[in-house]
């Protein structure tokens, strides 16, 4: 049975030239969003974990007023996150209980169809792992909101971004003097609209490797997650407007390469479907924490080439039992794998 997948975004979506207009940013604190480069530049904050300097970003707050003050996304369901890291305050910034280990080398060796990976013990390895005490979710005050504040780098620099041994694998540039970091964007869909987000943590080793994310096995504790749908056998082909899914990610999206400024524009993703977004009718039920379900086209649909791109969860539900089920004919259901994918912006039009 196919049990692994990844949840990043989509290649071959409509491109914007240069800077995305600020009115299309839901993360108002973002300094720059460049869809053509698959990049977002964010404010960088300094803290510590033991004797180690850490650098983190702030993406979401569970409190609406606090989110507006910080310029981050209001994520009300984040208040229900079960795995929250304790932090303390000091004159030098927040003191975290733990930090990720970015030293491991990320690895993905494609199988014959790209995905699943090669059937070998050394085929897959996440590029960053976290101790049990680490979570991207923190509560800076005992009675305050929960923040989504992933650590993206450790140490005092300079940082070797050709190895990512002290940074998240999505870091494209980091300037600790200017307090800025540039990260690789992901692309997906919400309510039929193309959207941009970042994949920062995953609860599964293969998902973490494919996502260029930090492995946090306890990420899904609590009930603060919402649904994300990943296609496992859509069409492939660079430039194919119907391409979607995990083989497309691997075969067309340069998964095995290390992310950098030189190749960020061509790094792809599978075009996942988000079931909520911070604009429109789903805003009050938004969370950056996603419980992922896999959807698979029936074999006859694949052979007929009618396994087309889907951009709205309602279409998945309409097709269940007719052309779409879970992998290997299993029922469509949550997989038990959770990812932290905070949204940044939308392309063209806001999800209604």
pLDDT in tens, 249-274: 999 999 999 999 999 999 998 899 99
- pTM of the complete model: 0.93
Other Cβ atoms less than 10 A from the Cβ of 144: the count is 13
* pLDDT attached to residue 12: 38
Tokens of 228: 């994300």
Tell me the mean pLDDT in the region 42-63: 98
pLDDT at 212: 96
Q: Is the dihedral of CA 4, 127, 104, 133 positive or negative?
A: negative
Instruction: Write out pLDDT tens, residues 87-130.
Output: 999 998 999 999 999 999 999 999 988 888 999 999 999 999 99
Longest dimension (CA), the chain: 63
Report, as an integer, the average pLDDT of 171-200: 97
State the sign of the Cα–Cα–Cα–Cα dihedral 195, 40, 128, 62. Answer: negative
User: Which among 192, 50, 195, 59 is positioned nearest to 133, based on CA atoms?
Assistant: 50
């Amino acid at each position: 049975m196919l049990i692994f997948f990844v949840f990043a975004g989509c290649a071959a979506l409509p491109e914007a030239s240069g800077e995305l207009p600020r009115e299309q940013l839901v993360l108002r604190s973002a300094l720059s969003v460049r869809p053509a480069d698959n990049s977002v530049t964010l404010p960088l904050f300094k803290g510590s974990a033991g004797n180690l300097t850490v650098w983190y970003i702030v993406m979401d707050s569970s409190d609406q007023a606090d989110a507006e003050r910080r310029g981050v996304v209001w994520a009300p369901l984040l208040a229900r996150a079960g795995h929250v890291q304790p932090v303390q305050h000091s004159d030098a910034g927040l003191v975290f209980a733990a930090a990720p280990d970015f030293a491991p080398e990320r690895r993905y060796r494609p199988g014959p169809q790209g995905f699943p990976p090669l059937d070998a013990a050394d085929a897959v390895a996440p590029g960053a792992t976290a101790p049990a005490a680490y979570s991207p979710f923190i509560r800076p005050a005992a009675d305050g909101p929960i923040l989504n504040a992933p650590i993206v780098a450790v140490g005092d620099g300079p940082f070797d971004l050709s190895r990512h041994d002290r940074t998240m694998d999505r870091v494209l540039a980091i300037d600790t003097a200017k307090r800025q970091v540039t990260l690789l964007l992901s692309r997906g869909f919400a309510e039929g609209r193309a959207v941009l987000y970042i994949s920062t943590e995953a609860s599964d080793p293969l998902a973490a490797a494919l996502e260029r994310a930090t492995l946090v096995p306890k990420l899904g504790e609590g009930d603060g997650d919402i649904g994300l749908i990943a296609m496992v056998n859509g069409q492939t082909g660079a430039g194919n407007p119907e391409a979607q899914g995990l083989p497309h990610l691997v075969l067309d999206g340069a998964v095995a390469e290390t992310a950098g400024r030189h190749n960020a524009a061509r790094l792809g993703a599978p075009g996942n479907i988000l079931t909520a977004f911070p604009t429109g009718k789903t805003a009050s039920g938004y969370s950056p924490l996603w419980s992922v379900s896999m959807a698979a086209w029936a074999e006859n649909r694949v052979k007929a080439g009618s396994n087309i791109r889907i951009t709205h969860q309602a279409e998945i539900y309409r097709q269940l039992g007719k052309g779409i089920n879970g992998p290997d004919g299993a029922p469509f259901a949550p997989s038990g794998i959770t990812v932290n994918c905070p949204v940044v912006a939308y392309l063209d039009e806001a999800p209604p």
